[in-house]
Amino acid sequence: MAHLNITFNGLSADYPLELDAHVTDADDRRIAVEHVRSGAMVALHVPHLADNAFDNFVVDRMQNGMRIYLRPKVPFGA
């Protein structure tokens, strides 16, 4: 089971994901929008979140894809 961690508006939350195969960054962003809108991520419930809210966010994959981090871009580092 993979875990999706989303950092948004200064808050961060984890959500367990059942993934059968590798998903693209675009899929991760779409999944994140659905989960945040639905309230599945209690700390990050934003019912009217825009479809493109995570378009400019970075998707980091750790632990062989078992930890997926969706976070805003930062002005430092590469």
Q: What is the pTM of this model?
A: 0.87
Residue 46 makes CB contacts below 8 A (sequence gap 6+) with: 8, 9, 36, 37, 53
- Cα 2 to chain centroid distance, Å, stands at 12
- Cα 75 to chain centroid distance, Å, stands at 20
Structure tokens at 37: 């809108």
Instruction: Write out pLDDT tens, residues 11-66.
Output: 999 999 888 778 899 999 999 999 999 999 878 999 999 999 999 999 999 988 88
* pLDDT at residue 22, rounded to an integer: 81
Identity of residue 36: V
